[in-house]
Every structure is written in structure tokens, then in C-alpha cells.
Amino acid sequence: MKSILLTSTLILLLVLVSLPRFNWRPLPEPLNSFVGGKPFDVEQYEKYVSYFRGNQIVREELESPFSHRPLIPFLASLLPFDELTSLNLINILIISIGMIYLLKFLWSLKFSNKMVFIGGLLFVVSFPAFYYTTSGYIDASLVGMILIFNYFLYTNKYYLFLIFFLIASLIKETVIVTFLASVIYINYKEKGVNKYYKNLLTLILFFLIQSLIKYFAPSKNIFFWKPNFETIIYNLERIKTYVSFILTLGIPGFFTILNLINFKKFFIPYEIFLSLIVGALSGFILWFYSIFSAHADGRHLWVIYPYTVPIATNFINYLFEEKFSQTYKLSK
């Protein structure tokens, strides 16, 4: 009963945190001027929803890589609301389901209800949950899906992990940055050729699905985020590059760094801890690469949260244990 109440409370809080930005609702000045208008990415996803609803006129306006990310626009097209509202409702749904699996994962690590609640709060009361969940991007759904397949990975349900990993590849191709984290964990848990078989199967199916998406997508252009000098200068001169990074890194990232400095396992088994670290580093590399090749933004870094939140929870738990230990010694 306590776990149901805890989960329901955090999901409700997640929805409340995300609502102020719903459908690009204006923020108080001067924040609204600083943020700017609706991005090109969001407009592309809206057009993709319209395309799935039968509007063939927008077909020629769809561009890659956005047209290679079909799942969320397709699901949104099934809802009886305008395009942007439908996208954001799907985002809220998937990330809320992801939240459930984050909590299940923390419980599987034997954290107390108090620590599980704190871990959930780290995810919910955060800049990316507030700023990106309901702004029309699809990253919230991607993060939610990573939370789901991470639970299955770390509870040794490989084929369920594989299914949801492949579903995530229909959301956004950048999910591939999490692959190395799964390789690290599978290599620790599996013996002999089995680990090679599972890792290779995951990789082959991912690229097969990506090839099929590109073949059937409305836009046949193959897009690559190529590093270029103009993009580097543009991102380095933007104050939002640094602000969004710091805010998205947030408390989970800060405590993850502290846990790395004080490298101790505590509650998390070594193979899971190492995999989580690799997952967080992979997400950071994705953001770092965006400085050279894209519009650098905190949402590229949001994919570290499924990895940094458990590590941060681990470190906070350590701080509680240390405080309790010191208090106990003083009382004696």
C-alpha cells in the first residue's frame, strides 16, 4: 500500500511539474524572451502528427532526422486533440510509466521507501522534467523508455529489455548511446558466447530497424550531425548552452560526480554501478558532440537521468548512513 501511494504521489508531482510549460505556455518575463519561440524540431513533430492523420500536403515539408523518429508522432496522431497537445500527452504518459519502472528498479536495489522516494524526487523535481516534458520534443518519451528497459536489463530479463530497447529506437535513434551500458552489464552477467550473442543481436536488430525506418520514412534524405566550425562557434557563444547544461546536470549529476570521487558501491552491486556510470558518460558524450554538430541543449543530456538518479540515490543513502553512524558513535 505504501509503494502504491509513493508511486502515485510522484507521478502526480511529475505531471504538476511539467504543466507550466505545457504547449509552450509563456513564462514570466524576462524568462520568456530568453527562451525564445517554438523550435523547428517541435514544428517538425507537429507536421509528422498531421501526416499520420492523413495530411499528405505536409509530406514534402518533413525533414530528416525528425521524419526518422516515427513512434511518438504516430501515437499522438491517434488522439483527438491538436498536434502539439497530443504529442505532450503521449510524453506525459510514457515518462510516467518510466517513473514507475525507475521506482521498481530502486526497490530492486533494496533501497528503503524513504530512499526510493528521494530518488523519485531527484527525477521529478528537476529542470528537464519541468522544461522539456511537455514542450513538444520527444525526449521525454525517450527518457521514459530508457527507464523501462533499464529495469528489465538490471533485473536480468534480457528479451524484455531487447523489446523495449527496440521500441525506443523507433522514438529516437540516439538511444544507441545507451548500448555500451548494456554491453558492460551483460558481459558481467553472461558466460561464454551467450554474452556475444545477446550484444550482437541487440546491435543488429537496432540497425535493421533504423534501415527500415529510413526506407519507409516520408523524407528519404539521410541526415548526419556533422561537426562544423560554424556550429561550434554558435554553441560556444550561446549562454543557453552553458545554462541548460548546468541546470540539466542538476543534483543527480552533482551527486554522481561525488560518488565517483568517493568510489564506493554501498547498496548497488558493482556490475550495475559500473554500467550506470558508463550510461551516464555516454549521455554526456552525446551532449558534448552536440556542441560540434547541432543545437546544443540540455535535453540531449537528459538521457543521463536513468543512470545518474540511481547513483545519486546511492550516494545520498551513504550520507544518511554516515550521519546515522556518527550520531550512534557520539551517543555511545
164-220 residue pLDDT tens? 999 999 999 999 999 999 999 999 988 888 889 999 999 999 999 999 999 888 876
pLDDT of residue 19: 93
pLDDT of residue 196: 92
pLDDT of residue 325: 47
pLDDT tens figures, 25-37: 766 666 665 566 7
Say which DSSP state 80 is in. Answer: S
pLDDT of residue 236: 85
pLDDT tens figures, 13-70: 999 999 988 987 766 666 665 566 778 899 999 999 999 999 999 998 998 899 999 9
| Distance, CA of 175 to CA of 138 (rounded, Å) | 12
Summarize the chain as % helix, strand, coil (round to 5). Answer: 80, 0, 20
pLDDT of residue 296: 80
pLDDT tens figures, 281-324: 999 999 998 888 877 888 899 999 999 999 999 999 988 876 65
Question: Radius of gyration of the chain from Cα atoms?
Answer: 20
Greater model confidence, 91 or 238: 91
pLDDT tens figures, 99-121: 999 999 999 999 999 999 999 99
Residue type (1 letter), 90: I
Quickly list DSSP for 2-33. HHHHHHHHHHHHHHHHHGGGGGGPPPPTTHHH
